[in-house]
Structure 1
Amino acid sequence: HTGESYCLDDLTCTPQQIAEQARQHPAKIAAIFGEQQIDYQTLETQANVFSEILYEQGAKPGQAIGTLLNRSLDILISILGIWKAGCHYVPLDPTHPQAKLSQVIEDAGLEMLIVQQQTSELVDSGLAVQLIPVSGIKRTEQEKTEATENGLISSSVSSVSSCSKKTAYQKADTAYLIYTSGTTGQPKGVPISHGNLANLIHSMAERTNFDSQRRLLAVTTLAFDIAALELLMPLCCGGTVVIAEEETARDGEQLLTALSRFQIDTMQATPATWHMCCSAGLKDYLLEREASQESPFTILCGGEAIEMNLAKELVETGAEVWNVYGPTETTIWSGALRLSAGHIAEECVPVGGPLANTSFHVLDSKLRAVPEGMIGELCIGGAGLSAGYYNNRELTRSRFVEINPSDATLLSEPSQTLRVYRTGDLVRARDDGTFDFLGRSDYQVKLRGYRIELGEIETALQSYPEVEQAVVVVQGEGTPAARLLAAVRFSKTDTTAGEELQSRLRSYLTDRLPTYMLPTIFCPLDSLPLTPNGKIDRQAILTILTQESAHTVKPAHEPRTLLEQKLAAIWQQLLKIDKVGLHDNFFEMGGHSLLLLKAQNQVREQLEVTVPLVDFFRYPTLHALANHLSSTTPKTTLASRVPALEAGKARMKQRLLQK
């Protein structure tokens, strides 16, 4: 199963394509963030200036430079500046705990890290990494002149031409090094070359008919590899990328507002985000847009398996819906299938449509092709294939393998072997050339778009002093309500009460793992169930934890204060339950990360209080969260907001109806 083929020599590297767009359309708007916008010429100029700043700070060709940036135009300027300095970027997520950031900084051997004032405080001061403030990027020629006169940057920097710096890009050079979850607790670095990236962007633009008239709304964190497509494909094509603000990217209604405000015609997101948009009225918005707009709306949905109900709902919007599939190791996406009513008439939504210069192979455990219609592991070859894992030859040898020439279909000579990546995904080929996705062959899962190695969470749990063994499972995998559950066996009998145990373990993991990797339930077991052959019985553990998480409200501890009652009403609505007790745990009642985002939005809308996501994990009970809010927000403010906000909300609804 292969995509179309074309000569890779005909492609130019991503920064060269963007520079060419700046030459042809210098005044065209390249990117927008909130009220800020930047044209192609200014983007090129600022990237050139920043590359010189990096050079003066000691950057050398081939060096890895980290980026720890909140959503802003700074991201684009930094990436291009790093490339123009002959280096490659390593994206880090500001929402990750310091320990996780330190792991990546140390493993990648970062000597330089680009930061903003807010993110510089997230870096462990004990690390030998030089922090480069993004404020060094000058927004205009006038500012650059003033900076030179004040000695902030040297005259050599100020004399940089506003035309593209002549960097000699090679397709084999690394464009970025990105980290994914690892089973040992150590994230895995995946280097992606300029050739890999150029093939992906060209193929996806061709497949989806993305051109210079299109506008894409970028909603993904830079540390998730699919963000590279969102940010760079529009620029390579001469279009416009609109970077969604942080709060907008987490709220369905705000996303729909952004689609309308910025006249967006393309958006890529995970199924979880599309669920939010559908709940906010995406279908009505797109059907109304279709009646007044000439260009079709393009939906790119990927990052995890898309469930049938969501696929049907998206197709019914009238948009062009693409089910995109691919692991990080083969450069973002390897396949893109435009969904039709025929595709979603079966039991599951198919994947397929190998991109250009890409091949799909369904193989057995001995890397032999399986007969059509049989289940096998999907292995991917072609121009998107990474060189392997950074500084990890053993893992590279196990996942990047050579397959027999008789099973390869992209060979120019019969004697050649074909290098492929073993995805670990189990699939079955359909008669129409697409594939049924049937799950994983290991303990790696996709949860709301994030690829998670359950072993990494287990390793973190087992580093807790009193935990002897830990097993993490997924409840409701493949559904919007999916959540992580953890079974733990202690080295000695633990007499800690249930609520305190949950709090201790959750607090411990919060300092070590991103919030999307935190289990919602921690259940102590005297022993872990085994299969007949002596292996951990994960299915039995899932059954036990599902039963343990069944919840009964304690009516003797009902919410008392106005704040507690308001929070309880929010929980009842989101969790679809009739009653919430004062000491009930949001996660034990079925809460998960998607509902957490909705809870955060509801609290912000109804109480005008922005609660960081991490605080929901630290204060998971109604009582604890209410006390926290009371202690961090003036009581008179909270008390006066509830009735006033109810009246304001009613007025807002009335205005929307009138509109």
Structure 2
Amino acid sequence: MPWRSLPGRIAEQAMIRPQAPALLWHAEEVSYAELRRMAGAAAVQLVGLGLPSVEPVAMVAKKSPEAIAVVLACLMLRQPVLLPSAELGAETLAGLLDRCGARRLPDPGQLTCGGGEFADPEESDPDDVVLLLTTSGSTGLPKVVPLTGGAVERFTDWAADYFGIGPESGVLNYAPLNFDLCLLDIWTTLARGGCVTLIDQDLAANPAHLLAQFRARPVQVVQGVPMLYQLLAQAAEADHGLMLDGVEHALLTGDAVSARGFEPLPALLPKAIFHNVYGCTETNDSFIHTIDPMDPMPYGTVPIGRPIDGVRALVLDEDGAELDGPGRGELVVSTPFQTVGYLDSELDRGVFSERPDGRYYRTGDLVRRHADGVLTLEGRRDYVVKVRGVRINTTEVEAALRSHPAVDEAVVLAEPDELAGMRLHAVVERAEGARLNSLIIRQHIAGLLPRVAIPSTVELVDTPLPRTSTGKLDRKAVQRVSRQAQTDRPTTATGG
């Protein structure tokens, strides 16, 4: 097919179906014509600011129709747009904007309220950078991940075809606007003429708000972290077993779903095909697995599956040698949708590498390839620590802890120790009403882990562990809270 940029595709939808709903926001529809009007108004204002076309701008705002219109205006102007988290601290945000040389834009409501006509520009080059996403920033400033228009087009084509997204589709968008998940939820849907149901970021943990959006307009495709599905299950239970039987595809992403977390989903979404989707910000989606509701965890966990169309994947052992058959190692991938490298090319070292068949990205994820070729995640390379000279992956310890029926969540932290080098400290969230103590935990994991992998100390909590805005465990926050708790009161020792 001839090259057609994302703003060109959305403009085409606005021309042929102007009154069709593009966005649903708090049960109110925004048509393609209205979205195009807001984007045009923002484009006029942006031109008036005299922005250099080769330098990025930063749109720092929570998700809203106006914010989406401003991003679209930047795309129309061929102005690279940086999308940092709207919840970054002021110092971190200032450092990020300085690193990118990005000028912060005015509030989206201010940019989209004006009038004026803006003619569509000529098509951009597929190699032009259009979006700059950021990583989570778990170690210092977030890394900036540029995406070209061609990469975005290839992804939207794949996603629309795979999940059947078209003019009659309703797609739920749960993630904040700065997340790469929005490439499917928002931009694929708009490129193909569907309607995006936007979940207000400030109400993302409110089951009633989630349910209201499903009732306002049919949704066929849902993508979200496990927390989204837990909230929907809670809402359905409170509504006497409500079923969301209009959903055709349910995508789980971003974090591992537990057996208990998946259990209510087939009844909640009785007509849905369940998919586990794996990818990184740097590569976008790389693997997909269709979950069998009768046997969701054939290897003890939900697999990430097999590479999607066009993706090449390698599994490398500890020495960097490629594994041909079953085995365990680090996952290295190359996708048609990936970035060419970080904005700061110095950060590419040791992460991106050139091979004869393309540019590959080291994910840092440890996987196991099974005899049938299916992959399962087994933790992170950077979560491997040495305790008394033995390599321990803390995510494996967490999985053992979570396998107890009275444990809702667990995080294992590695802390310096004079004798052992490192010691493991577990923070365990008990299920509501559970009578769980450290002795019971110790007895449970003793049969699952080598002695050296059993945490030296266990901290039991009855409140939910801190999470990010999209429901992922916030390990840095857990560590801060745990350290404060250890200062305020003694931690329960479990030996080891």
TM class by smaller structure = 0.7 to 0.9
Distance in 1 (alpha carbons) for counterparts of 2:124 and 2:335 = 21
Distance in 2 (alpha carbons) for counterparts of 1:575 and 1:62 = 58
> Would the aligned equivalents of 2:156 and 2:183 in 1 still touch at CA under 8 Å?
no
SS of 2:376 mapped into structure 1? strand
Counterparts in 2 of 1:549-628, with a 5 A limit?
A: 589-593=461-465
Equivalent of residue 307 in structure 2, options 354, 362, 368:
354
Distance in 2 (alpha carbons) for counterparts of 1:338 and 1:477 = 22
Cα distance change on mapping 1:354 and 1:24 into 2, 3 Å: farther
Counterparts in 2 of 1:530-541, with a 5 A limit?
A: 531=420, 536-537=421-422, 541=423
Distance in 2 (alpha carbons) for counterparts of 1:595 and 1:83 = 32
Distance in 2 (alpha carbons) for counterparts of 1:83 and 1:425 = 33
Equivalent of residue 257 in structure 2, options 293, 306, 318:
306
SS of 1:272 mapped into structure 2? helix
Instruction: State the Cα distance separating 1:342 from its structure 2 match.
Output: 4.5
Return the TM-score normalized by structure 1.
0.60
Distance in 2 (alpha carbons) for counterparts of 1:89 and 1:438 = 35
Equivalent of residue 72 in structure 2, options 80, 93, 99:
80
Distance in 1 (alpha carbons) for counterparts of 2:173 and 2:237 = 17
One-letter amino acid of the counterpart of residue 356, structure 1: D
Equivalent of residue 417 in structure 2, options 528, 538, 544:
528
Instruction: State the Cα distance separating 1:187 from its structure 2 match.
Output: 1.9
Equivalent of residue 121 in structure 2, options 166, 177, 200:
166
Distance in 2 (alpha carbons) for counterparts of 1:572 and 1:354 = 36
CA deviation vs aligned residue, 1:362-414 (integer Å, no higher than 9, x gap): 22345432131111211111312211111132x313111123xxxxxxxxxxx
How many residues are treated as equivalent by the alignment? 438
One-letter amino acid of the counterpart of residue 398, structure 1: G
One-letter amino acid of the counterpart of residue 352, structure 1: G
One-letter amino acid of the counterpart of residue 110, structure 2: S
Counterpart of 2:449 in structure 1 is none
> Would the aligned equivalents of 1:427 and 1:435 in 2 still touch at CA under 8 Å?
yes
Is structure 2 residue 50 aligned with structure 1 residue 97?
no
Cα distance change on mapping 1:279 and 1:402 into 2, 3 Å: same
Structure with more strand by fraction? 2
Distance in 2 (alpha carbons) for counterparts of 1:20 and 1:240 = 15
SS of 1:323 mapped into structure 2? strand
> Would the aligned equivalents of 2:44 and 2:117 in 1 still touch at CA under 8 Å?
no
Equivalent of residue 43 in structure 1, options 12, 35, 45:
35
Counterparts in 2 of 1:447-466, with a 5 A limit?
A: none
One-letter amino acid of the counterpart of residue 299, structure 2: E
One-letter amino acid of the counterpart of residue 114, structure 1: L
> Would the aligned equivalents of 2:56 and 2:102 in 1 still touch at CA under 8 Å?
yes
Counterpart of 2:186 in structure 1 is 231
Counterparts in 2 of 1:258-297, with a 5 A limit?
A: 258-281=213-236, 288-290=243-245, 296-297=247-248
Equivalent of residue 27 in structure 1, options 19, 32, 43:
19
CA deviation vs aligned residue, 1:19-63 (integer Å, no higher than 9, x gap): 121122111111121154321122223212312211220223232
Instruction: State the Cα distance separating 1:435 from its structure 2 match.
Output: 0.8
CA deviation vs aligned residue, 1:404-458 (integer Å, no higher than 9, x gap): xxxxxxxxxxxx44321111111222344321211111139xxxxxxxxx9xxxx
Distance in 1 (alpha carbons) for counterparts of 2:468 and 2:84 = 23
Percent identity of equivalent pairs: 22
Is structure 2 residue 381 aligned with structure 1 residue 441?
yes
Is structure 2 residue 111 aligned with structure 1 residue 136?
yes
Return the TM-score normalized by structure 2.
0.78
Cα distance change on mapping 1:429 and 1:83 into 2, 3 Å: same
Equivalent of residue 430 in structure 1, options 358, 370, 377:
370
Structure with more helix by fraction? 1
Distance in 2 (alpha carbons) for counterparts of 1:170 and 1:217 = 30
Cα distance change on mapping 1:529 and 1:302 into 2, 3 Å: farther
Cα distance change on mapping 1:19 and 1:279 into 2, 3 Å: same
Counterparts in 2 of 1:144-293, with a 5 A limit?
A: 144=115, 158-161=116-119, 165-182=120-137, 184-281=139-236, 288-290=243-245
CA deviation vs aligned residue, 1:88-139 (integer Å, no higher than 9, x gap): 221122323222222322222212x2343xxxxxxxxxxxxxxxx641313x
Distance in 2 (alpha carbons) for counterparts of 1:275 and 1:24 = 39
> Would the aligned equivalents of 2:305 and 2:375 in 1 still touch at CA under 8 Å?
yes
SS of 2:305 mapped into structure 1? coil
SS of 1:203 mapped into structure 2? helix
Equivalent of residue 382 in structure 1, options 331, 335, 338:
335
SS of 1:348 mapped into structure 2? coil
Distance in 1 (alpha carbons) for counterparts of 2:97 and 2:54 = 16
SS of 2:409 mapped into structure 1? coil
> Would the aligned equivalents of 1:216 and 1:265 in 2 still touch at CA under 8 Å?
yes
SS of 2:353 mapped into structure 1? strand
RMSD between aligned residues = 3.6
Cα distance change on mapping 1:346 and 1:476 into 2, 3 Å: closer
Counterpart of 1:399 in structure 2 is 351
Instruction: State the Cα distance separating 1:159 from its structure 2 match.
Output: 4.2
> Would the aligned equivalents of 1:314 and 1:321 in 2 still touch at CA under 8 Å?
no
Instruction: State the Cα distance separating 1:195 from its structure 2 match.
Output: 1.4
> Would the aligned equivalents of 1:52 and 1:85 in 2 still touch at CA under 8 Å?
no
SS of 2:350 mapped into structure 1? helix
Cα distance change on mapping 1:115 and 1:308 into 2, 3 Å: farther
Distance in 1 (alpha carbons) for counterparts of 2:137 and 2:468 = 25
One-letter amino acid of the counterpart of residue 399, structure 1: V
> Would the aligned equivalents of 1:334 and 1:384 in 2 still touch at CA under 8 Å?
no
> Would the aligned equivalents of 1:350 and 1:435 in 2 still touch at CA under 8 Å?
yes
CA deviation vs aligned residue, 1:49-79 (integer Å, no higher than 9, x gap): 3122112202232321111112311121011
Distance in 2 (alpha carbons) for counterparts of 1:286 and 1:239 = 29
> Would the aligned equivalents of 2:353 and 2:359 in 1 still touch at CA under 8 Å?
yes
Counterpart of 1:114 in structure 2 is 105
One-letter amino acid of the counterpart of residue 149, structure 2: H
Counterpart of 2:388 in structure 1 is none
> Would the aligned equivalents of 1:272 and 1:594 in 2 still touch at CA under 8 Å?
no
Distance in 2 (alpha carbons) for counterparts of 1:590 and 1:24 = 54
Instruction: State the Cα distance separating 1:228 from its structure 2 match.
Output: 3.1
SS of 1:442 mapped into structure 2? helix
CA deviation vs aligned residue, 1:301-336 (integer Å, no higher than 9, x gap): 1012233333444345422111010011102x1222
One-letter amino acid of the counterpart of residue 118, structure 2: V
Distance in 2 (alpha carbons) for counterparts of 1:136 and 1:420 = 39
Is structure 2 residue 287 aligned with structure 1 residue 335?
yes
SS of 2:69 mapped into structure 1? helix
> Would the aligned equivalents of 1:286 and 1:297 in 2 still touch at CA under 8 Å?
no
Cα distance change on mapping 1:591 and 1:109 into 2, 3 Å: farther
Distance in 2 (alpha carbons) for counterparts of 1:355 and 1:257 = 33
SS of 2:203 mapped into structure 1? helix
One-letter amino acid of the counterpart of residue 196, structure 1: A
Distance in 2 (alpha carbons) for counterparts of 1:232 and 1:65 = 19
One-letter amino acid of the counterpart of residue 265, structure 2: L
In structure 1, the gaps of 5 or more residues are 1-8, 117-132, 145-157, 404-415, 445-453, 455-472, 488-526, 551-570, 579-586, 598-612, 622-659
SS of 1:52 mapped into structure 2? helix
Distance in 1 (alpha carbons) for counterparts of 2:312 and 2:280 = 14
Instruction: State the Cα distance separating 1:267 from its structure 2 match.
Output: 1.7
> Would the aligned equivalents of 2:26 and 2:213 in 1 still touch at CA under 8 Å?
no
SS of 2:132 mapped into structure 1? strand
Cα distance change on mapping 1:23 and 1:593 into 2, 3 Å: farther
Counterpart of 2:7 in structure 1 is 15
CA deviation vs aligned residue, 1:437-492 (integer Å, no higher than 9, x gap): 11111139xxxxxxxxx9xxxxxxxxxxxxxxxxxx778469552347585xxxxx
